[in-house]
Amino acid sequence: MKRASRSTALRLSLLMCTPALALAQTGDDSLVLPSMDVRSLVPDSVQGMPGAANLLGRDTLDTYKPYTLHDAFDQVPGVRTIDDDVLGLRSGIGVRGAPPRRSRKVLLLEDGTPINNSSYLDSGAHYTPPTQRLEQIEVLKGAGQIIHGPLNNHGIVNFRNLRPTAEPETRVELGIGNQSTRQSHISHRRTEGDLGMVFSYTGQEADGTFDVEEHEFDDFYTAFEWQLNDRHQLAASGTYFRERSQGYDESNLSLEQYRANPRNKRGLDEGREYNNISVDYYKLDLTHNFQISDDVRLSSKVFGTELDRPRFQTRGTAPSDGGVMEGRDRRYHTLGADSRLDINGLSAFGLDHRVQTGLRYEKHRFADRRPVGRPGEALKESNRGNVYAIAGQDGYTRDGRLQTYDAEAISVFAQNTLSWGDWAVTPGLRFETYNQYKKTNFHPGNSEEGVSEKDSNSLLLPGISLLYSGFANSEVYAGIHRGFAPASARTEEFPLTPETGINTQLGIRSDAIRGVSLDAALFYNRIQDTLVRDRVDAFGDALFVNAADSDIYGLDLGARIDSWAFHDSPYNLFAETALNYTHATFRDGPLKGNDVPEVPRFAGSFTLGLEHTAGWHLSATLSHFGAFYTDVANTRAIIAEGDEDDAGRVPGRTLLSARASYKLPTNLDTTLWIQGRNLTDKLYIADIQEGIRPGAARTLVGGVTFRF
């Protein structure tokens, strides 16, 4: 379908707001605002969710003390991660059949605001919030895809930040370990009168996978919530995230180099220690919650983000020896507005109804520069080289190209939950329309200089879910929905076709057996025009193509058992698992039967632990990540030379992690803790892209947490 006109979108917006305006005249003045708004996907429990959903709350994060956000997802069935650096700063999150690299197929939200680089232009991610300042991580798999989009074929992750507390609360956490690890966090939250406040700082640094790498970040977050009266609440939050990683690049090792010394880059004598990547990320949210009546609320927000991500590397010779550095200097801007109306307590035709509608507008801009330096010039974020070099001047230019991309998108959704007795059915419809624009601003001597291109797409995304809660402490859910992922505009084959899918699932979550919790779901996704990374060009840029259609089916399984439920004891022996089986293959053409790259068949974790009411905890986790192919041709042999022809099957691995903590019996709330990952110091290949990248070495960190 062609893009809907702006006038049509405006009429839809006015129609959506009309019920709110009418009901606003009849509301009661003595109302309390609900806990849910545009910042959250789910409440504090997954009960009642019409699909698979998992929550990682603050208590869980404090107990397991994950070294990185990627490590935290070991406890969530169906979520896989691929590390590109030891701190997980190059986000690599996949849900079910979504390839994890750069999280390109998963919608990442922070308090409901999209944080992918640009979900409609270049959906990779170079920023996710640190776990220390999160109140909850919400993972939706086949639940909420009508309400949230795009990138809603596989799963949606929302990072919910700390909220103000009624009483002042301060948390300080310090950690130190091998690999030059340093961790620090301080947060304070309180409410004074009608104004709630949150202030947070988090910092971390560590040596990297290779001998030249050093990573560090600083994260600042603040939020305010102002309760104007019983009906209105205003909220504002701001984020600044700063990363400086030295020695990092995406040119890794050949198979011969890996076998000779798997963590060595300094000895290659190529000036790799000069390579670097920097990230400066800014986010601002302004939210208004309007409780119109007991059963009607309107929640709206405006948001803006900016991601500045320059990366520079040598090409075989250090600047100190007269070598030339070149880079990929990218900057992303997004602006958006989101408004959602929730009407509860309706009855008609013998059924109860809950109607939810929403409208979102987003505008994106992405500038892609390819600067170069002069011989002997070291490039970094404060000296970014010259993209306007004379084309063809030896040693001073890559391809002399500067491109900008723009997008604008409008989405509208409506769904109605019809319930009677123990049954609830939720039909819904989402409409997405967006334009992509590509312009080559500067490319001397090339016919594409000054050329502008445009692509328009409009999609209808229907869905329906079923929930039955008639069993004791159990819920059965089923659903089918259509989802999509916009194609990357940063490709030689612009425009590509959006990836679309028909996604189904059938699942159960149960606490029917005392001391045992279970959450299992079967899923089947039928994907058209599957978007995959095809190769890396001569400049190290990943290029994308529409591969064949694909079929994805599998099982998510999460379970936990606690001994406390069976006998009265201060000790609790517990075991929990998060497992996933995914079969993702192309179904037609020359690729028929080949695996979709980056998707292993098996992944999961098993945790065994012991805890005591006196305040101590001890547990260990085995995490498995199965073998996967890195190319659509499913090349089995590892062909890794650090160029665009890299391919190979990455072997599976099983890693051991553990943690222990003890809450001191003192007046000051103090907890001592220690945690370690890859405790056996297993050498394994994390990924093959521009060569082989090994996984992180054994890391042990100990620390202390104060609360007062």
pLDDT recorded at residue 538: 46
Stretch (H or E) spanning 61: helix 58-64
Taking residues 594-612, report their average pLDDT. 96
- DSSP E strands in 469-564: the ranges are 474-485, 499-510, 516-528, 531-536, 542-546, 550-562
The model's confidence at residue 33, banded by pLDDT at 50, 70 and 90, is: very low
Instruction: Let me know how long the chain is.
Output: 708
390 token code pair: 């004379």
In this predicted structure, the answer to whether residue 657 has a pLDDT above a threshold of 60 is yes
182 touches 175 (CB < 8 A)? yes
- Per the prediction, the chain carries an average pLDDT of 89
In this predicted structure, the answer to whether residue 314 has a pLDDT above a threshold of 80 is yes
The whole-angstrom separation of Cα 305 and Cα 286 is 12
Higher pLDDT: 69 or 29? It is 69
Strand partners, 294: none
Of the CA atoms within 13 Å of residue 92, those in its CB half-sphere come to 21
Of the CA atoms within 13 Å of residue 641, those in its CB half-sphere come to 5
Taking residues 174-186, report their average pLDDT. 98
In this predicted structure, the answer to whether residue 27 has a pLDDT above a threshold of 50 is no
The whole-angstrom separation of Cα 407 and Cα 305 is 14
pLDDT recorded at residue 694: 97
The model's confidence at residue 37, banded by pLDDT at 50, 70 and 90, is: low
Place of tokens 């999609």: 459
Stretch (H or E) spanning 707: strand 699-707
Stretch (H or E) spanning 413: strand 402-420
Phi, psi for residue 683 in degrees, rounded to 5: -90, 125
pLDDT recorded at residue 641: 75
Higher pLDDT: 529 or 449? It is 529
The helix/strand count (H/E) of the chain reads as: 4, 35
Q: Which CATH architecture is the domain 6-40+167-707 placed in?
A: Beta Barrel (2.40)
The model's confidence at residue 12, banded by pLDDT at 50, 70 and 90, is: very low
Tens digit of pLDDT for each residue in 255-301? 999 999 999 999 999 999 999 999 999 999 999 999 999 999 999 99
Tell me the domain boundaries of the chain: 6-40+167-707
Q: State whether the Cα torsion 7-13-15-17 is positive or negative.
A: negative
Place of tokens 């006998």: 567
107 token code pair: 């919608």
pLDDT recorded at residue 4: 41
Taking residues 651-671, report their average pLDDT. 97
Amino acid at 651: P
Q: What is the CA angle 345-350-353, rounded to 5?
A: 30
In this predicted structure, the answer to whether residue 386 has a pLDDT above a threshold of 90 is no
pLDDT recorded at residue 635: 93
In this predicted structure, the answer to whether residue 328 has a pLDDT above a threshold of 80 is yes
The whole-angstrom separation of Cα 289 and Cα 214 is 43
pLDDT recorded at residue 15: 35
In this predicted structure, the answer to whether residue 366 has a pLDDT above a threshold of 80 is yes
pLDDT recorded at residue 443: 64
Tens digit of pLDDT for each residue in 523-579? 999 999 998 876 544 444 555 567 789 999 999 999 999 999 999 999 999 999 999
Selection from 111, 101, 159, 152 nearest residue 134 by Cα: 159
The model's confidence at residue 2, banded by pLDDT at 50, 70 and 90, is: very low
* CA-derived radius of gyration, the chain: 25
Amino acid at 40: S
The whole-angstrom separation of Cα 281 and Cα 688 is 27
SS3 letters across 619-651? EEEEEEECCEECCCCCCCCCECCCCCCCECEEC
The whole-angstrom separation of Cα 483 and Cα 22 is 33
The model's confidence at residue 451, banded by pLDDT at 50, 70 and 90, is: confident
Q: Decide: helix, strand or coil at residue 387.
A: coil
The whole-angstrom separation of Cα 27 and Cα 206 is 55
In this predicted structure, the answer to whether residue 122 has a pLDDT above a threshold of 70 is yes
Taking residues 13-21, report their average pLDDT. 34
Tens digit of pLDDT for each residue in 47-67? 888 899 999 999 999 999 999
Residue 105's contacts (CB-CB under 8 Å, 6 or more residues apart) are 94, 95, 98, 99, 123, 151, 153, 154, 485, 531
Selection from 463, 392, 458, 470 nearest residue 429 by Cα: 463
In this predicted structure, the answer to whether residue 22 has a pLDDT above a threshold of 70 is no
pLDDT recorded at residue 144: 80
Alpha carbon 14 to chain centroid distance? 32
SS3 letters across 106-154? CEEEECCEECCCECCCECCCCCCCCHHHEEEEEEEECCCCCCCCCCCCC
Q: What are the Cα distances from residue 297, in Å, to 121, 338, 355, 357? A: 32, 14, 11, 11
pLDDT recorded at residue 17: 37
Q: Decide: helix, strand or coil at residue 442.
A: strand
245 touches 214 (CB < 8 A)? yes
Alpha carbon 531 to chain centroid distance? 18
Q: State whether the Cα torsion 289-290-293-298 is positive or negative.
A: negative
Burial 380-409 (b: 16+ CB within 10 A, else e): bbeebbbbebebeeeebbbebbbbbbbbbb
Selection from 570, 285, 563, 334 nearest residue 434 by Cα: 334
pLDDT recorded at residue 304: 98
Q: What is the CA angle 669-673-674, rounded to 5?
A: 170
Selection from 563, 659, 655, 553 nearest residue 604 by Cα: 655
568 token code pair: 């009265």
Q: Decide: helix, strand or coil at residue 567.
A: coil
Burial class (CB in 10 A: 0-12, 13-18, 19+), 411: buried
Taking residues 191-211, report their average pLDDT. 97
Record the pTM.
0.91
The whole-angstrom separation of Cα 540 and Cα 72 is 30
Neighbours of 265 (CB within 10 A): 24
